[in-house]
Amino acid sequence: MKRLNGWSLGAAIMLFAFASCTNEALLPEAPQVDEPNDPNACQLVGDNFLWEGEETRTSLTIEDNMAKFCWTAGDRVGILPDEGTQVFFTIPEPEEGGEMTNTATFDGGAWALKAESNYAAYYPFVKDFDLDRTEVPVNYKGQKQNGMSTAHLGAYDFQGARPVMTNENGGGVTFDFDHVGALVLLRFTVPDANTALKSVTLSAEDESFITEGTYDLTSSKDDGFPITATETSKSLTVDVDYTTTTTNEEVTVYFMCAPIDLSGKMVNVSIAYGDADESFDFVAVGKNMVAGNGYALTAMSIEMLPYLTFSAAGEQTMVISTEDDYVLDESLQYSVGGGAWTKLTADTKIVFGGQGNDLRLRGQSSTGTAVDPYQNFSTISFEDEEVPVACTGDIRTLVDYLNY
């Protein structure tokens, strides 16, 4: 089932039908339902999931912070018996006038499950006669979003259901699907209308992104479905075919990725556009992206980070002084009015204040601006006591503004 956050994806499948022979041209398919109310029918049911902490009833249609799940006609679910060749189920078209939902039903027909056997399931189906249930493939390369559609997500929403025995009545099995990867919504603002977007690339310091790998359907429920990487990369690219229609338009790019812990890291975001080799270079604050969860990331200009910022209605002067043997870290910098970043030195008077003339500080100092509060520290002071100063931003940007 296509579930996107907290996706334990309760896909209940009661299945009855597996072929004992194969066809070289096409793997066997379980027959479709003839009577939806048949008590021996096999049923797939979608479930709730959590989207960044709020429980929702959802599809792969994404609205605001909601990711709603429903099957798409033609989706194929692979079923792997403990012995013999796999089969697949094809999600049928809805009844006339109906809409696709989070449920689908199948009839076992003349097929039967083997007694004392177990069956595993996965999605999307892979046409491979010798597919090993301990090495089901995943591949996150080649994702492409057309317009603001989310139609591309289904092919990368890898899901697995662990092996289960046929039920005591010999009539079927119930599969509980879990999602293997994470869903990401990346939002950013494009300054100009009629900008033709081509791709979005996320990159990290190390080879953090799993682009190809396998997972084991027999793994423990407590372990999730950890991916064994066969290919990694410093970056993950999603192609985009979209032209903005307004100035300062907010664009959202949707993609799936293997679980990755980017918490405490700044992720570089390069957005290619136009016919020339042009790009917007943004950053985003990383998160720990866990399998079966959905995450919203906001890409922004590095100048938009929440630097420690001082503002005043009128002209003001700041100076930073040091005590005892303390020496300011070499990485500490300041910028006035959005100007160039300059090394911050002790006892230098910095004039700021007035409309659009804020003072920003940043650094990559493990101790910030002090070793301890009683000795070896620095003090920020303002010379004009008649001009109030407001302080905003995140003080951790003095410790490491790229990973604050």
pLDDT in tens, 86-109: 888 877 777 777 777 666 665 554
| The pLDDT of residue 110 | 46
Q: Which residues pair with 320 in a beta bridge?
A: 380
Q: Is the pLDDT of residue 268 over 80?
A: yes
Q: Is the pLDDT of residue 4 over 50?
A: no
Residue 287 to residue 296: CA distance in whole angstroms: 9
Q: Are strands 182-190 and 294-298 parallel, antiparallel or unpaired?
A: parallel
Q: Is the pLDDT of residue 41 over 60?
A: no
Which pLDDT band holds residue 62 (cuts at 50, 70, 90)?
Answer: low
Residue 284 to residue 269: CA distance in whole angstroms: 7
Residue 404 to residue 394: CA distance in whole angstroms: 8
Rg of the chain (C-alpha set): 28
Which of the residue ranges 22-31, 162-171, 285-294, 339-348 has the most confident prediction, judged by mean pLDDT? Answer: 339-348
* Range in 29-43, 305-319, 375-389 with the lowest mean pLDDT: 29-43
Which pLDDT band holds residue 128 (cuts at 50, 70, 90)?
Answer: confident
Mean per-residue pLDDT, 271-280: 88
Q: Which residue would you say has higher pLDDT here, 240 or 13?
A: 240
Q: Is the pLDDT of residue 287 over 60?
A: yes
| The pLDDT of residue 50 | 43
Tokens of 301: 């200009």
Q: Is the pLDDT of residue 36 over 60?
A: no
Max Cα distance, the chain (Å) = 90
Return the closest-CA partner of residue 285 out of 188, 361, 369.
Answer: 188
**pTM of the full structure:** 0.71
**3-class SS of residue 77:** strand
Mean per-residue pLDDT, 385-403: 89
Q: Is the pLDDT of residue 223 over 70?
A: yes
| The pLDDT of residue 360 | 93
Considering the chain, what is the average pLDDT of its residues?
Answer: 78
Mean per-residue pLDDT, 42-58: 40
Mean per-residue pLDDT, 71-78: 80
Q: Is the pLDDT of residue 285 over 90?
A: no
Kindly report, residue by residue over 157-202, the tens digit of the pLDDT: 898 989 988 766 555 677 778 889 988 889 999 999 999 999 999 9
Q: Is the pLDDT of residue 23 over 50?
A: no
Q: Which residue would you say has higher pLDDT here, 102 or 274?
A: 274
| The pLDDT of residue 109 | 47
CB-based contact 157:60 (threshold 8 Å): yes
Q: Is the pLDDT of residue 310 over 90?
A: yes
* Range in 56-70, 211-225, 274-288, 366-380 with the lowest mean pLDDT: 56-70
